[in-house]
């Protein structure tokens, strides 16, 4: 490779820039270590788990006895370094903040796991309820290159035909998993971009209708009027969204049947996992959402793709090779740390057409974002807010959604954790009526270069500690079994 003068100059400038930054970081590290509040600051950063973009708050929390007005406990940032306290950014995306994303995955694991195995306010008897693990997919919007295993070819075709744009209809290549071509359309002009983003915009409604159809199917099979099904059973679910390489979402869901009062009551005997499975299959095959005719778009009907997976979930340690509840919880938790970014999209909203031209995404994802932008201004589609959701390719849902009765919430898990760090109410005299008063305000966010290095070190140490702990637990199990 020939280096041009411009390349060489850029390379020298780049190296000089790195050296300059390194010395900035060093200077900052020395400054931090010499601050009188350094040990306490370090404790704060440890408490955030080494969060990459902490939020700084100033204020106070006071616990007062409601009867006497006496101050029982008090925490104030006046005595903290910089008169502020660091809290986690709580971003669930691994690409934004690895430590907070790990915490979020852990929360999701517990949330999904308690709905399957009990715990965190869910009785352990739920393990005897019918539980399914279901994957629902988007239909095809045009042929895309696909990564395959075992040297299988992408789209083999003997006749070597071409589309109306003169592009080959087949592809004889073998794409590795990291091949940037995987997920890209064989012909971008043939690919149905409007249907793809509009399907995304209606996927939430498609899901809601599916849940209602499953309930209807269960009522019909049992000979119960649909309006009375709630007197017999309740259907709970937790679902996560996964973006595939082609930029289309998949839903992975745990669906559980409970008795009429939720997880603490058993479902009726006739409500078996097999019947639930049949209800899911028939609902997925029949449910549709239609969009009225629009000039330039036409009339569209949205359905699920043909690929549907329904697995019965067995108790952990099942030896018949079925999916176990532990495995499902881990599998689901893995998806929440991934975002559209992993499918080649972005994690932040798009503000203008220029943004779409500049974001570092594949041509396919750029075309999907551009389609959201273009359709977003059409009369009759405003309610889909396609421009505001261009970065998620038109899909408006959360990464994880669950029905109320499924299990605990993120909020409850966070409250339980906050009680450990902040002002605790435990140990107070039983005769008191404690009232918590809090006044907090945002005073800043992010790290200085030196602080960033220290936080990253803390986050790495925590990962190592967790691995050591896991090994010790495994070793103990091994010696217990021996
Ligand atoms: Zn964070
Ligand atoms: Zn291909
Ligand atoms: Zn074509």
What per-residue confidence (pLDDT) applies to 455? 92
On whether both 341 and 454 belong to a single domain, the answer is: no
On whether both 196 and 320 belong to a single domain, the answer is: yes
Residue pLDDT, tens place only, 128-180 = 899 999 999 999 999 999 988 778 889 888 777 899 999 999 999 999 888 88
C-alpha distances in angstroms, 159 versus 110, 151, 171, 185, 269?
52, 21, 12, 20, 56
- Lowest-pLDDT range of 223-232, 279-288, 426-435, 437-446: 426-435
The Å distance, Cα 347 to ligand 1 centre, comes to 15
**Which candidate, 89, 54, 93, places its Cα nearest to that of 348?**
93
The Å distance, Cα 308 to ligand 2 centre, comes to 24
The Å distance, Cα 51 to ligand 1 centre, comes to 4
**pLDDT-derived band at 112, boundaries 50, 70, 90:** confident
On whether both 290 and 424 belong to a single domain, the answer is: no
Final residue of a structural domain among 342, 377, 406: 406
pLDDT at 217 over 90: yes
What per-residue confidence (pLDDT) applies to 223? 93
Question: Which ligand approaches the C-alpha of residue 102 most closely?
Answer: 1
Final residue of a structural domain among 406, 428, 453: 406
What per-residue confidence (pLDDT) applies to 419? 47
What per-residue confidence (pLDDT) applies to 316? 55
Number of folded domains that form the chain: 2
| Residue 365 falls inside a structural domain | yes
On whether both 132 and 231 belong to a single domain, the answer is: yes
The Å distance, Cα 364 to ligand 3 centre, comes to 14
Question: Which ligand approaches the C-alpha of residue 169 most closely?
Answer: 3
Residue pLDDT, tens place only, 385-428 = 999 999 889 998 777 777 777 776 766 666 655 544 456 666 77
The Å distance, Cα 9 to ligand 1 centre, comes to 37
Question: Which ligand approaches the C-alpha of residue 163 most closely?
Answer: 3
Q: Are 215 and 407 in contact (CB under 8 A)?
A: no
The Å distance, Cα 144 to ligand 3 centre, comes to 12
| Residue 103 falls inside a structural domain | no
- Rounded to an integer, the average pLDDT of 18-38 is 82
The Å distance, Cα 368 to ligand 1 centre, comes to 29
On whether both 197 and 344 belong to a single domain, the answer is: yes
On whether both 309 and 348 belong to a single domain, the answer is: yes
What per-residue confidence (pLDDT) applies to 161? 86
What per-residue confidence (pLDDT) applies to 202? 96
The Å distance, Cα 146 to ligand 2 centre, comes to 6
| Residue 185 falls inside a structural domain | no
What per-residue confidence (pLDDT) applies to 279? 96
**pLDDT-derived band at 1, boundaries 50, 70, 90:** very low
On whether both 220 and 294 belong to a single domain, the answer is: yes
Give the predicted TM-score (pTM) of the model. 0.73
Q: Are 208 and 192 in contact (CB under 8 A)?
A: no
What per-residue confidence (pLDDT) applies to 21? 67
The Å distance, Cα 309 to ligand 2 centre, comes to 25
On whether both 387 and 477 belong to a single domain, the answer is: no
On whether both 312 and 254 belong to a single domain, the answer is: yes
Question: Which ligand approaches the C-alpha of residue 153 most closely?
Answer: 2
Question: Which ligand approaches the C-alpha of residue 50 most closely?
Answer: 1
On whether both 390 and 462 belong to a single domain, the answer is: no
The Å distance, Cα 153 to ligand 2 centre, comes to 8
Domain residues for the domain of 454 are 22-94+411-481
Residue pLDDT, tens place only, 295-351 = 878 899 999 999 898 887 776 544 555 567 777 777 777 766 665 555 556 767 788
Final residue of a structural domain among 356, 380, 406: 406
Percent of the chain with pLDDT over 90: 34
The Å distance, Cα 97 to ligand 1 centre, comes to 5
- Rounded to an integer, the average pLDDT of 239-255 is 89
The Å distance, Cα 326 to ligand 2 centre, comes to 36
| Residue 310 falls inside a structural domain | yes
The Å distance, Cα 88 to ligand 1 centre, comes to 5
Give the distance, in angstroms, between the CA of residue 51 and the centroid of all CA atoms in the same chain: 18
Q: Which of the two residues, 289 and 9, has the higher pLDDT score? A: 289
Q: Are strands 55-65 and 434-445 parallel, antiparallel or unpaired?
A: antiparallel
| Residue 430 falls inside a structural domain | yes
The Å distance, Cα 446 to ligand 1 centre, comes to 9
On whether both 250 and 398 belong to a single domain, the answer is: yes
On whether both 392 and 419 belong to a single domain, the answer is: no
What per-residue confidence (pLDDT) applies to 421? 45
Q: Are 451 and 32 in contact (CB under 8 A)?
A: yes
The Å distance, Cα 377 to ligand 3 centre, comes to 26
């Amino acid at each position: 490779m020939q280096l041009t003068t411009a390349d060489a100059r850029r390379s020298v400038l780049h190296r000089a820039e790195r050296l300059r930054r390194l010395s900035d970081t060093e200077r900052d590290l020395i400054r931090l270590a010499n601050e009188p509040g350094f040990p306490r600051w370090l404790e704060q950063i440890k408490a955030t788990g080494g969060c990459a973009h902490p939020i700084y708050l100033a204020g106070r929390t006071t616990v007062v006895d409601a009867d006497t007005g006496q101050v029982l406990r008090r925490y104030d940032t006046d005595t903290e370094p910089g008169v502020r306290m660091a809290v986690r950014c709580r971003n669930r995306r691994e690409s934004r903040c690895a430590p907070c994303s790990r915490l979020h995955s852990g929360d999701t694991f517990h949330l999904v796991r308690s709905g399957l195995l009990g715990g965190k306010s869910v009785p352990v008897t739920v393990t005897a309820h019918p539980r399914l693990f279901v994957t629902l997919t988007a239909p095809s919007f045009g042929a895309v290159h696909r990564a395959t295993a075992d040297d299988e070819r992408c789209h083999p075709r003997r006749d070597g035909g071409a589309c109306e744009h003169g592009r080959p209809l087949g592809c004889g290549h073998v794409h590795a998993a990291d091949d940037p071509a995987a997920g890209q359309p064989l012909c971008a002009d043939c690919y149905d971009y409007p249907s793809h983003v509009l399907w995304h915009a209606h996927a939430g409604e498609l899901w809601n209708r599916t849940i209602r159809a499953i309930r209807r199917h269960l009522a019909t099979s049992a000979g119960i009027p649909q309006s009375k099904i709630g007197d017999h059973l309740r259907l709970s679910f937790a679902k996560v969204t996964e973006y595939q390489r082609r930029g289309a979402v998949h839903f992975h869901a745990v669906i559980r049947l409970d008795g009429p009062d939720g997880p603490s009551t058993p479902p009726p005997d006739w409500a078996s996992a097999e019947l639930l499975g049949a209800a899911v299959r028939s609902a997925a095959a029949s449910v549709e959402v239609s969009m009225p005719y629009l000039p330039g778009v036409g009339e569209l009907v949205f359905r699920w793709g043909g690929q549907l997976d329904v697995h019965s979930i067995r108790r952990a340690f099942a030896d018949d090779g079925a999916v176990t509840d532990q495995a499902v919880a881990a599998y689901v938790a893995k998806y929440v740390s991934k975002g559209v970014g992993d499918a080649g999209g972005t994690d932040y909203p798009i503000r203008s057409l220029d943004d779409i031209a500049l974001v570092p995404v594949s041509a396919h994802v750029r075309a999907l974002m551009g389609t959201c932008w273009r359709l977003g201004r059409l009369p009759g589609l405003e309610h889909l807010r396609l421009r505001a959701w261009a970065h998620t390719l038109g899909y408006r849902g959360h990464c994880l959604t669950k029905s109320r009765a499924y299990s605990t919430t993120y909020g409850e898990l966070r409250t339980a954790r906050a009680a450990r760090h902040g002002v605790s109410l435990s140990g107070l005299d039983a005769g008191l009526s404690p009232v918590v008063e809090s006044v907090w305000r945002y005073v800043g966010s992010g790290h200085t270069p030196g602080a960033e290095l220290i936080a990253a070190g803390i986050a790495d140490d925590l990962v190592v500690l967790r691995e050591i702990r896991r090994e010790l637990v495994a070793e103990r199990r091994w010696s217990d079994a021996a």
